[in-house]
Amino acid sequence: QQQVKQSPQSLIVQKGGISIINCAYENTAFDYFPWYQQFPGKGPALLIAIRPDVSEKKEGRFTISFNKSAKQFSLHIMDSQPGDSATYFCAASKNNDMRFGAGTRLTVKP
């Protein structure tokens, strides 16, 4: 069952541009929404996370926007750099039961 839908599957952005990845969830019981970054040959690494009681969270160049009524959240990467090229996964969790999106492969061109 796909409880978290992620788009796009792949994204190409020029250096310095903004990367935007979107996710939608179905289960309104989810109460924790993390984003993971995964480089080839490595495990996913926690990037940033948000709870549904806030609409936005910013950490450096990374921002999560959260729309509870629409059951959607997105990751914005400002001033994208080639080093940001990786696969990004959104996830949604309730009581430590975490469901992942299918991932977005981001390529940032120099």
Partner 1 sequence: EAGVAQSPRYKIIEKRQSVAFWCNPISGHATLYWYQQILGQGPKLLIQFQNNGVVDDSQLPKDRFSAERLKGVDSTLKIQPAKLEDSAVYLCASSLMVAGFYEQYFGPGTRLTVT
- Which residues bind to partner 1, rule: CB under 8 A? 4, 6, 31-32, 34, 36, 41-46, 49, 51, 89, 91, 93, 96-98, 100-103
Q: Which is nearer to partner 1, 20 or 102 (CB)?
A: 102
Minimal distance in Å, beta carbon 88 to partner 1? 10
68 φ/ψ sector (left φ>0, alpha ψ -120 to 50, else beta): alpha
The candidate with the shortest Cα–Cα distance to 100, out of 41, 14, 33, is 33
Nearer to partner 1, 86 or 91 (CB): 91
**Minimum distance, C-beta of residue 22 to partner 1, in the bound complex (Å):** 15
User: What is the smallest separation between the CB atom of 15 and partner 1, expressed in angstroms?
Assistant: 26
Distance CA(5)–CA(23), nearest Å, equals 5
- Residue among 59 and 79 whose Cβ is closer to partner 1: 59
Please name the helix (run of DSSP H) or strand (run of DSSP E) that holds residue 91, with its range, or none.
strand 86-94
Least distance (Å) from partner 1 to the CB of residue 14? 25
* Complex with partner 1: residue 19 or 89, whichever CB lies closer: 89
Q: What is the DSSP string of 41-84?
A: TS--EEEEEE-TT-SEEEETTEEEEEETTTTEEEEEESS--GGG
Token reading at 4: 């978290």
